[in-house]
Amino acid sequence: MNLRINSRHLEVTPGIRDHLENRLERIRKHFDHVIDASAFLMVDKAKEKGLRQTAELTLHLKGKELFAQAHHEDLYHAMDAVIDKLDRQVIKHKERIQDHHHDKHLQ
């Protein structure tokens, strides 16, 4: 899976990249048909500390795109939260695909 990381007001360090790649492995365990992933990491000057670090992630699947966004005061927690959201979306998408194929065989 290709991973493209863009950032705003933030330097993407090898540690950030490794953390994101390791967390994406969890998604690949559930569903290995991910074509590529695009991450956008940013730091904003929000008044609330909990909204300063933002992680957005888009997964490109065959025929579908999944998107999630998370805010946190720590960037690593924001990345973990966005991976959790996408993991739930991928599992739901996989169940829909399997249910759809199962219905074809019943007819």
- Tens of pLDDT, residue by residue over 53-88, are 999 999 998 888 999 999 998 999 999 999 999 999
Determine contact, residues 68/56, Cβ cutoff 8 Å: yes
Q: CB-side exposure of 73: number of CA atoms within 13 Å?
A: 4
Q: Say how many domains are in the chain.
A: 1
Q: Which domain holds residue 7?
A: 2-106
Is the pLDDT reported for residue 106 higher than 60?
no
Determine contact, residues 79/23, Cβ cutoff 8 Å: yes
CATH number, residue 32: 3.30.160.100
Determine contact, residues 12/5, Cβ cutoff 8 Å: yes
